[in-house]
Structures are given as C-alpha cells and as structure tokens.
C-alpha cells in the first residue's frame, strides 16, 4: 500500500513538473534552461509536499461523480472570488486615482496564459502543497490534533501569501492594505479547498478566479 502511494505521488509530481515546464516555457521560449530549473523545483516541492500531507491529511478515493461535483464547486467559488476581487479593486481605484492608473496599466500588460494557468499552478504548488504541507508536517511532530495543525498551517500560508503580492509595487498605503487583505483572504479559501479536497481543486479555483477577473476587467478599467 505504501509503495503504491509513493508511486502515485511520484507520478503526480511528474505531471506537475511537466505542467510547470509548460507554464514557464510558453511565454518565453528562449529561456529553456529557466523552464527546466522551474520544472525541477516544482517536482521537488511536489514530492516533499505530497509526502508531508500524506501524514496529516489523507484524502479518500472519490468516485468520478464526486470529483465532478467538487470541480463544479471549485469553479463556482473561483467565479465568486474573481468577481469579489474585481469589485474590491474597482472600489479602491475609485477612491484613489494613482491606484486606478496602476491597475489599468497592470491589466493592460496582463497575460491570459500567466493569469489563468501559470501563476495558479505555480502558486498552488508553492504556497499550498509545499508551504502549507510542510508546516503541517512540522506541527504533526509535536501534536496529533489535526484541526489545530490545519488551522495553523492555513493561517501561516495565508499570512505569507498576502504580503508577497506586494512584489508588484502598490500605489499607496490604501492600495497596499487592500492587496494584502484580498490576497490573504484568497489564501484562506484556497488553502481550505486544498486541504479538504486536494490540489487540483485549489488550482482550478485559483485559475477561475483569475480568468473571471481578466474577462470582466475591461468593463471597469
């Protein structure tokens, strides 16, 4: 049973690594080495993450009907999150002309490939599977309380996820505050989906959020 689980995790890590290669290679096909390095890192992070969560968060084998239902829920949650994010952005931009200019310029340069596929994939591997899974594993060394493990791992991963969105310089204090709060809230939702349902569903929810945002943004900016 253990050998079977290891083989499944290695296969899943290989699929994620191949997807990460495509995510990094397609936008810049001159940087093959960078895509290979990124794929290798994704593979290592996935192997470590799968091994970590297997100890504290084993998921049941679901029939196809249950998987389809969860995928539909992930799409619905992603749609709601994307619309909420867009409304929050427009509200802030309406109060601050600098924020409006920053967002307009950012969306004009936005890539559907990166927003819908590459970023959700890489961020879910990094923040949910690797970071959240790793924190959960470390906590499991000192406690068997799975609820406590989940809550602490979720909170820490969301707290890291939020501020890292400031790597794109904000237009001011209000803009920065809203960016961190929005990303942190999204991290809580995505982390909960990852923990309770699995990585594919958090990736789909994340990608749908960005897709809805990109589709609707011309109506506001």
Residue pair 128/190 in contact (Cβ under 8 Å)? The answer is: yes
Report domain extents, the chain.
64-219
pTM: 0.94
- 86 has a pLDDT exceeding 80: yes
The CB density around residue 6, as the number of other CB atoms within 10 Å, is 14
pLDDT recorded at residue 101: 82
Mean pLDDT of 103-122: 88
Residues in contact with 66: Cβ distance below 8 Å, sequence separation at least 6, in sequence order: none
- 81 has a pLDDT exceeding 70: yes
pLDDT recorded at residue 95: 85
Residue pair 198/74 in contact (Cβ under 8 Å)? The answer is: no
Cβ-count burial of 45 within 10 angstroms (0-12 exposed, 13-18 middle, 19+ buried)?
buried
Residue whose pair of structure tokens reads 């998921």 in the numeric block: 59
Question: Which band of pLDDT confidence, cut at 50, 70 and 90, is reported for residue 106?
Answer: confident
Mean pLDDT of the chain: 91
Higher-confidence position of 132 and 32: 132
Mean pLDDT of 26-53: 91
- 174 has a pLDDT exceeding 90: no
Name the token pair of 157.
Answer: 């991963």
C-alpha 57/C-alpha 146 separation (Å) is 8
- 72 has a pLDDT exceeding 80: yes
pLDDT recorded at residue 221: 67
- 108 has a pLDDT exceeding 80: no
Name the token pair of 113.
Answer: 């490939």
pLDDT recorded at residue 1: 62
Query: pLDDT tens for residues 144-160?
Result: 999 999 999 999 999 99
Question: Which band of pLDDT confidence, cut at 50, 70 and 90, is reported for residue 100?
Answer: confident
Residue pair 82/210 in contact (Cβ under 8 Å)? The answer is: yes
pLDDT recorded at residue 173: 86
Query: pLDDT tens for residues 177-211?
Result: 999 999 999 999 999 999 999 999 999 999 999 99
């Amino acid at each position: 049973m253990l050998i079977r689980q290891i083989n499944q995790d290695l296969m899943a890590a290989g699929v994620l690594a191949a997807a990460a290669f495509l995510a990094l290679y397609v936008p810049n096909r001159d940087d093959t080495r960078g895509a290979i390095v990124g794929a290798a890192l994704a593979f290592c992070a996935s192997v470590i993450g799968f091994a970590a969560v297997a100890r504290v968060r084993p998921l049941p084998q679901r029939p196809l009907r249950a998987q389809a239902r969860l995928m539909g829920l992930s799409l619905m949650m992603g749609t709601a999150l994307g619309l909420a994010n867009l409304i929050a952005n427009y509200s802030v931009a309406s109060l601050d002309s600098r924020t409006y200019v920053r967002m307009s310029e950012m969306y004009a340069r936005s890539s559907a490939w990166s927003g819908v596929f590459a970023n959700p994939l890489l961020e879910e591997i990094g923040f949910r599977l690797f970071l959240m899974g790793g924190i959960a594993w470390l906590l499991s060394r000192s406690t068997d309380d799975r609820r406590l493990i989940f809550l602490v791992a979720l909170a820490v991963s969301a707290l890291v996820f939020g501020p890292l969105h400031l790597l794109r310089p904000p237009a001011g204090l209000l803009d920065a505050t809203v960016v961190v709060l929005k990303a942190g809230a999204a991290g809580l939702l995505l982390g909960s989906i990852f923990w309770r349902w699995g990585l594919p569903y958090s990736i789909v929810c994340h990608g749908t959020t960005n897709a809805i945002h990109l589709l609707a943004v011309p109506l506001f900016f």
